[in-house]
Structure 1
Amino acid sequence: MDVHEALYTTRMMRRLHPDPIPLEIQARILDAAIRAPNGGNTQRWHFLAVDDPATKAELAAIYRSSRAREYADIAAGELAQPLHDPQAHAKTMRRITTSGDYFTDHFAETPLLLFVFAIDDHGGANIYPAIWSALLAARAEGVGGTITTVLRYEAERVMRLLEVPTEAGWRMTAMLALGYPRGRWGVAANRRPVQEVSSRNRWGQDFGVTVPFPLWPGESSG
């Protein structure tokens, strides 16, 4: 797969088939992830793959209660508010909420839950490149997924269930839910264009280029 196709069409997939992901594909995804750049090549990461049905069922209950706490924070205005076009944002959030409800209801059916842990990660600078590489590698294998940090609301319960050695300093960064998607891949069409979110030399100065539509696929792609 062309790298630009992977970059442009990888998106969050919350509606997944329950079919298992073969171990050799899981291995290729993680082998790509660990090639990601990380400061000093310290590789202070650990990936925990969960596919045991009983464990997934326990995590599903924790996820549901964590999501309820997240909704409470949203209702209280404690999470980030939209910077632009509140009406468009509200429409997007309604769509995401519907998709998220489906994901919550079918959490235990997710073929693979990939938990990502790190130590002293400087705000995610070292681990998030590996997470994104995993999602891109999954896309190349026809595997979709979503990244969620919702379980951090009840991180202690999760870490205890998964027997994570917290005394060594390990902390949960995120969880990837991976599986073969029910939806279609496609270029995100709801992004504000480059010139509206970019500046040059000083904040607010013209970036110098106008990008009226996605640059992939280009004219040469047909």
Structure 2
Amino acid sequence: MDVHEALYTTRIMRRMKPDPIPMESQCRILDAAIRAPNGGNAQRWHFLAVDDLALKARLAELYASCRQQEYADIAAGRLGAAPHEDAVRRAESLARIKKSGDRFVEHFTEIPLLVFVFAVDDHGGANIYPAIWSSLLAARAEGIGGVLTTVLRYEACTVCDLLGVPTADGWRMIAMLAFGYPLGRWGVAANRRPVHEVSSRNQWGESFGARVPEPLWPPDADGARIELDRPAS
């Protein structure tokens, strides 16, 4: 698979088949993860795979509870929208996400593979998130969908106790990844603000220097999708 195809089509896949993921694929996913760049090659990470049904059932209860807490925070304005977001657009997006998330919760125990990601002294995630993204890209190459979620942060202590995490040594849960063969289709995310709306050059708010009104993958032979700004005369 071309690297740009992987970058453009790796998206959240919450609807998954219950089919088990072969150990060989799991190994390739995590082997790609540990090749990610990290400061000083300290490798302050740990990946805990969960596929035990009883354990997933307990985690499903915690996840449902945490999700209710998260939506309560959203409703109360404690998890607000970004300043640039249109209120109507944000509401529509949240409604779609909630519908997809509801199904994810309902079928949580059917998810074939959960991977809990832990780090110690990670400087705000600078080392662990490249590894997480590498694992999602590697999964895409295997035809496997993935979801990154931090919802379980509301019950982080309970989750760590359940999984036997040595938190006294400084390990903390960063995220949970859910992997499975997707029921949906791969595709380029279309609901993104274009590059020229979220980028500047040299000074905040100044023109980036080009407009990119459409996704640049699949490639356009004549490059017409990039519109260079004309310098002021």
* TM norm structure 2: 0.93
Pairwise CA distance, 1:85:
1.6
Pairwise CA distance, 1:145:
1.3
2:177 is aligned to: 176
The 2-side partners of 1:169 and 1:85 are apart by 40
2:150 is aligned to: 149
Could you report, residue by residue, the CA deviation over 1:13-69 in whole angstroms, capped at 9, with x for unpaired residues? 101000000000000000000000000000000000000001000100010111111
**Percent of aligned pairs with the same residue?**
71
Pairwise CA distance, 1:214:
0.4
The 2-side partners of 1:212 and 1:63 are apart by 38
- Superposed, which structure 2 residues align to 1:33-44 within 5 Å? 33-44=33-44
Structure 2: any 5+ residue segments left out of the alignment? 222-233
Secondary structure of 2:204's aligned partner:
coil
Given the alignment of the two structures, is residue 10 of structure 1 paired with residue 10 of structure 2, yes or no?
yes
2:167 is aligned to: 166
Structure 1: any 5+ residue segments left out of the alignment? none
One-letter code aligned to 1:94: A
2:52 is aligned to: 52
Pairwise CA distance, 1:5:
0.3
The 2-side partners of 1:121 and 1:197 are apart by 27
Could you report, residue by residue, the CA deviation over 1:110-153 in whole angstroms, capped at 9, with x for unpaired residues? 00000000001111000000000000000000000110000010
Contact 2:81–2:90 (Cα < 8 Å) also in 1: no
The 1-side partners of 2:216 and 2:150 are apart by 31
One-letter code aligned to 1:34: I
Say which is worse superposed, 86-95 or 172-181, in terms of deviation.
86-95
Pairwise CA distance, 1:170:
0.3
Pairwise CA distance, 1:81:
1.3
The 1-side partners of 2:20 and 2:201 are apart by 47
2:226 is aligned to: none
The 2-side partners of 1:80 and 1:137 are apart by 32
1:90 is aligned to: 91
One-letter code aligned to 1:62: L
The 2-side partners of 1:145 and 1:21 are apart by 12
1:198 is aligned to: 199
Could you report, residue by residue, the CA deviation over 1:146-176 in whole angstroms, capped at 9, with x for unpaired residues? 1000001000110000000011110000000
The 1-side partners of 2:89 and 2:183 are apart by 25
The 2-side partners of 1:79 and 1:61 are apart by 22
- Superposed, which structure 2 residues align to 1:71-90 within 5 Å? 71-82=71-82, 83-90=84-91
Pairwise CA distance, 1:80:
2.9
Pairwise CA distance, 1:84:
2.0
Say which is worse superposed, 147-156 or 78-87, in terms of deviation.
78-87
Secondary structure of 1:5's aligned partner:
helix
The 1-side partners of 2:180 and 2:89 are apart by 29
Say which is worse superposed, 110-119 or 211-220, in terms of deviation.
211-220
1:23 is aligned to: 23
Count of residues in Structure 1 that have an aligned counterpart in Structure 2: 221
Pairwise CA distance, 1:90:
1.1
Pairwise CA distance, 1:97:
0.4
The 2-side partners of 1:80 and 1:25 are apart by 38
